[in-house]
């Protein structure tokens, strides 16, 4: 039976305000806040890599779980912004944790990567043991590529989040998950190796605001729960307006959706676990908690846990 045992995060020190990023693309700071809910974001140092960010979050998560890296059965690293085509950051992180044979799996998916990894880990951990899931993104290296587009550059930040999925013990038991993909919209959000990020923002918002509530509702119904029963929704922090739309579609108060996008921006596959780590620091209250994400591909889904 899978459990969520611990969460942790790592955020770079450098804070980039709306005024600073807006100056690059001719945007007013207040306009950025109004269209996205973002007030600031973090940028990693030039010399920091995706693997560096992932390692810091991984170490913090292991420390919170009071678990040594040698006890892990697998590591999964989700990232859509790794610096090279291969190898991905997973093997580097495993090596830097002192591991020399533990399987390390890269999940090269933007935004929904950690949700997919958590769902897979919850289905594998009974056979493999403790699985460390990490989402790490250095989106600053993407959004600062010229020519900078104002609808893209203002949204993203850097960071990493981590979750330990255990077969035996944890803060909450995983009840189930649902995962979906639709390649018909693949061209609406894409990042080529030699080009800036390309995004049809209207399509992303429209599809996400339809698909995410449906996935959540279907998962809840499968486990005899209602949206009103969920204590907290931990959603990929893409855009505050999107988060509010999903809450409205589910007919739950927007306050049930934990949000830190104002402080960190959209950190892609790291964002859901960064939010979860902050939320878990306050104590995990009894009741259902729903994780959900939507990202490039399009890939989306939800995971339900209960304390």
In tens, the pLDDT along 67-88 reads 999 999 999 999 999 999 999 9
Q: How many CB atoms lie within 10 A of CB 35?
A: 16
**Structural contact between residues 161 and 57, judged by C-beta atoms closer than 8 angstroms:** yes
Exposure of 47 by Cβ count < 10 A (0-12 exposed, 13-18 middle, 19+ buried)? exposed
Looking at residue 285, its pLDDT comes to 87
What is the pTM for the complete model shown? 0.97
Query: Which tokens in the block code for residue 119?
Result: 């769902």
Looking at residue 146, its pLDDT comes to 87
Would you call 154 helix, strand, or coil by DSSP? coil
Query: Which tokens in the block code for residue 13?
Result: 């020190």
Domains detected in the chain: 3-166 (3.40.47.10), 172-306 (3.40.47.10)
């Amino acid at each position: 039976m899978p459990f969520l045992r611990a969460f942790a995060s790592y955020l770079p020190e450098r804070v980039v305000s709306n005024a600073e990023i807006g100056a690059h693309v001719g945007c007013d700071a207040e306009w950025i806040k109004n269209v996205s809910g973002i007030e600031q974001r973090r940028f990693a140092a030039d010399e920091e890599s995706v693997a560096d960010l992932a390692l810091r979050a991984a170490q913090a998560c292991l420390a919170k779980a009071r678990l040594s890296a040698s006890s892990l059965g697998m590591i999964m690293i989700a990232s859509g912004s790794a610096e090279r085509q291969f190898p991905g950051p997973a093997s580097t992180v495993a090596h830097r944790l002192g591991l020399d044979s533990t399987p390390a799996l890269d999940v090269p998916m933007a935004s929904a990567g950690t949700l997919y990894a958590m769902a897979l880990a919850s289905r594998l951990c009974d056979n493999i043991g403790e699985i460390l899931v990490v989402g790490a993104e250095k989106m600053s290296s993407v959004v600062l590529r010229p020519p900078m587009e104002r609808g893209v550059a203002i949204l993203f930040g850097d960071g990493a989040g981590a979750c330990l999925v255990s077969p035996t013990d944890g803060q909450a038991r995983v009840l189930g998950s649902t995962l979906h993909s639709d390649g018909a919209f693949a061209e609406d959000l894409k990042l080529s190796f030699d080009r800036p990020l390309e995004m049809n923002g209207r399509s992303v918002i429209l599809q996400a605001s339809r698909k995410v509530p449906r996935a959540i509702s279907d998962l809840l119904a499968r486990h005899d729960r209602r949206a009103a029963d969920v204590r907290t929704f931990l959603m990929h922090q893409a855009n505050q307006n999107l988060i509010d739309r999903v809450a409205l579609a589910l007919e739950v108060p927007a306050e049930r959706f934990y949000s830190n996008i104002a402080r960190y921006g959209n950190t892609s596959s790291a964002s859901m676990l960064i939010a979860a780590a902050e939320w878990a620091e306050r104590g995990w209250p009894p009741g259902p908690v729903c994780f959900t994400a939507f990202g490039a591909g399009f890939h989306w889904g939800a995971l339900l846990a209960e304390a």
